[in-house]
Amino acid sequence: MRHQEPGHFRRMVEEQRVVKTGGITDIDTAYLYVNSEKLLGQLNAARDFNIHTKAPGVVPGCMSRESILKGMENSLQELGVDHVEVYYLHTADPATPLYETLAAIQKLYNEGKFRVFGISNLSAEEVQRLYNLAKESSFILPSVYQGNYNPVARHAEKDLFPLLRRLGIKIYAYSPLAGGFLAKTANEIRGDKLGGRWSRDDPVGQIYHKLYNRPSLVSVLEKWEQLAHENGMKMVEMAYRWMLYNSALKTEFDDSIIVGTRRASLLAETLEFGRRGSLEEHVLLQIDAIWRLVEHEVRPPEISTSSFFAYLSQAPVDNMRG
């Protein structure tokens, strides 16, 4: 979220109205999302919604005691609140001892700065290690995990999600449209003239291109587009309905998806898609077939690991805070 251009604040007011009338109770943000916390504070969003935010991330040293405590102080100040509902570790930090990180989180919890401890972008191995250390140290245990999951990014179903189930950690899935990939045509991706979050001048856009702009995935996007068209749906509707009703996410575990939009009209449309129920069986079979075509692709680096820092080292990070 980069709400910096003139007029965006007014649009956010309208989005807030749509969110409230749509029955949404929680808003997700982060220290790294430039200006997001500040604008939520200006909207007094905490009056009507539970706010979830995250500690600084990505940059080596981001999970140090000093960084976490200062990050929370800054977040609360910009949000205009004295506590948040959920506080996440945004990424892992190989440069900081895990005990130091968890001790800082425990201090904030003891001070009443947040109610629920969340983790984000960690591998199954990292989740288990963090959970074990927190339990051995009598620290607060994580109870929610936020990670990338969508119809063309389902590797988490194999190892990570089963582990989260065993540990009693619910799942909040971000990027249900694969960063917008599943809302674009193959020709748009091949044309390589996309703006916004897919701009090659944007560090996040560069990451999206590295993750999804591959010949095999673009070819699969054509099949996705055709499947939606043949069944009278928009591509985004098919993705959202799969996520809500047919994916590994389960309402009995209080799982959720995280949606985002730049316009209130699109948010209202997304909420409407969510009311249309499960996809038909023949559509589900074809979505599974699409996944099988790409599941053996070389897996992108986990955002949590040091290899992701190498990803970012090739891209400017001026628009990220850390």
Which one is catalytic: 31, 33, 131, 208? Answer: 33
Ranges 152-161, 216-225, 310-319: which has the least confidence: 310-319
**Most confident residue range from 39-43, 162-166, 293-297:** 162-166
Q: Tokens in use for 70?
A: 């200062």
Active site residue 33: yes
Average pLDDT over residues 79-83: 98
Q: Tokens in use for 168?
A: 């009693």
Is residue 313 over pLDDT 50?
no
| pLDDT level of residue 297 (50, 70, 90 thresholds) | confident
| Span 232-259, pLDDT tens digits | 999 999 999 999 999 999 999 999 999 9
How far, in Å, CA of 146 to CA of 3, rounded?
A: 22
**What's the whole-model pTM score?**
0.88
| Span 24-71, pLDDT tens digits | 889 999 988 878 899 899 989 999 899 999 999 888 899 999 999 999
> What pLDDT score was predicted for residue 22?
77
- Of the candidates 191, 134, 138, the one whose C-alpha atom is nearest the C-alpha of residue 167 is 134
Higher-confidence position of 247 and 200:
247
Which amino acid, residue 233? M
> What pLDDT score was predicted for residue 320?
36
> What pLDDT score was predicted for residue 296?
83
| pLDDT level of residue 19 (50, 70, 90 thresholds) | confident
In three state form, how does the secondary structure of the chain look? CCCCCCCHHHHHHHHHHHHHHCCCCEEECCCCCCCHHHHHHHCCHHHCCEEEEECCCCCCCCCCHHHHHHHHHHHHHHHCCCCEEEEEECCCCCCCCHHHHHHHHHHHHHCCCEEEEEEECCCHHHHHHHHHHHHHCCCCCCCEEEEECECCECHHHCCHHHHHHHHCCEEEEECCCCCCHHHCCHHHHHHCCCCHHHCCCCHHHHHHHHHHCCHHHHHHHHHHHHHHHHCCCCHHHHHHHHHHHHCCCCHHHCCEECCCCCCHHHHHHHHHHCCCCCCCHHHHHHHHHHHHHHCCCCCCCCCCCHHHHHHHHCCCCCCCCC
Which amino acid, residue 136? E
Ordered by where they begin, the domains of the chain are 1-142 (3.20.20.100), 179-322 (no CATH)
% of the chain surpassing 90 pLDDT: 64
Q: Average pLDDT of the chain?
A: 87
- Of the candidates 109, 66, 62, the one whose C-alpha atom is nearest the C-alpha of residue 89 is 62
| Span 135-161, pLDDT tens digits | 999 999 999 999 999 999 999 999 999
Sequence-distant (≥ 6) Cβ neighbours of residue 18 within 8 angstroms: 264, 267, 268, 271
